[in-house]
Amino acid sequence: MGLDVSRFSHELAEHAHVAKIREDLLSGIQSGVNGTPTFFINGMRHDGSYDLRSLLAAIETAAES
């Protein structure tokens, strides 16, 4: 895979990416994301199931609006 294991281990031990992760988490919370995956259709959070049939139905409903 080409993973630099030494670099990965060092960054993990040093918490090198904590600030970015925190920033992404807060951004998601502000956007109404309460889990993954989260889908937005026409700017509205889709709270239904995320199987293909349910997503297509939600998209079709949004398109009719």
User: What is the average per-residue pLDDT within 15-29?
Assistant: 96
- Name the CA radius of gyration of the chain, rounded: 18
| pTM more than 0.75 | no
Give CA–CA dist 62/15, Å, rounded.
42
> pLDDT at residue 5 above 90?
yes
The CA distances from residue 21 to 9, 14, 24, 25, in Å, are 17, 14, 5, 6
Give CA–CA dist 25/16, Å, rounded.
16
Predicted local distance difference test score (pLDDT) of residue 65: 86
